[in-house]
Amino acid sequence: MALLEIKNIRKTFADGVTVLKDTSVSVEKGEVVVILGPSGCGKSTLLRCINGLEEIQAGEILLDGEVISGQRKDMHLVRQKIGMVFQSYELFPHLNVIKNILLAPQKAQNRTTEEAEQEADKWLERVGLKDKKYAYPRQLSGGQKQRVAIVRALCMHPQIMLFDEVTAALDPEMVREVLDVMMNLANDGMTMLIVTHQMNFARAIADRILFFGEGGEIVEESTPKEFFENPKTDRAKKFLESFQFEKRH
């Protein structure tokens, strides 16, 4: 049984625009699935639907066999199983790094400060930020903030991690330090669903590529090798050609 199952979901916004049409995805435990596609095709919306930040109008979403979509009163408990890292860090500016990380384990999971801090220290050391433990967000680079955001999510012991364009707001030299952390998580067997425009990274990390078209539908699904070397659809070919043009210029 897949760890995450998305069955025929539809997402329509209040203005009547439908961004996800009969979308179905399954993710196995330990699998890394990368979602690619043009802007506005529903990639980020899909992640937000999984995490309950957006309501769906049809279909259902299951995590480990349990339906997690719909009007659930315990959605705060469900979100503890789904780590999500956004493009914009979402760190509290008035709290230092360790307090940002400890807030959720202490408040949501009633874990002791000592136990949670020991785990946080291990992760901070692993991502190269042990020396920034008491720094404030304003004292960190964008790449450092994003690594703190990843550690904060991991300390909740999620079953799956969702990454939504986490390097889009970073300067080029900071991108690699964040992608290296994600690559290490993949090597550890973390189940991950990633939205990115980093093509080389997508090819290196993904077990499977999902390509979305403008209509909010998955128009191609394949291995990274197949997708990048022999895309099946004209839309995917055009998408990849645009990145090759940017690379040349």
**242 has a pLDDT exceeding 60:** yes
Average pLDDT over residues 123-146: 96
Rounded to the nearest integer, the mean pLDDT of the chain is 93
**136 has a pLDDT exceeding 90:** yes
Work out the burial of residue 234: count CB atoms within 10 Å of its CB; fewer than 13 is exposed, 13-18 middle, 19 or more buried. Answer: exposed
All structural domains of the chain with their residue ranges: 4-248
Question: What's the fold here for domain 4-248?
Answer: Rossmann fold (3.40.50)
User: CA 140 to CA 161: how far, in whole Å?
Assistant: 23
**194 has a pLDDT exceeding 90:** yes
Instruction: Tell me which of 93-102, 217-226, 240-249 is least confident.
Output: 240-249
Q: Which two three-digit tokens encode residue 126?
A: 């692993």
**Beta sheet of 18-27, edge-to-edge order:** 18-27, 4-12, 58-63, 66-67
Of 103 and 1, more confident: 103
Average pLDDT over residues 185-193: 97
Q: Is 0.85 topped by the overall pTM?
A: yes
What are 108-118's pLDDT values in tens digits?
999 999 999 99
Could you give the C-alpha distances from 23 to 16, 60, 82, 162, 225, in angstroms and in order? 17, 10, 19, 17, 23
Please name the residues in contact with 242: beta carbons below 8 A apart, sequence gap of 6 or more: none
What are 61-87's pLDDT values in tens digits?
999 999 999 878 888 899 999 999 998
Per-residue pLDDT, 55: 92
First to last CA, the chain: 45
**244 has a pLDDT exceeding 80:** no
Percent of the chain with pLDDT over 70: 98
**103 has a pLDDT exceeding 90:** yes
Per-residue pLDDT, 214: 86
Per-residue pLDDT, 247: 55
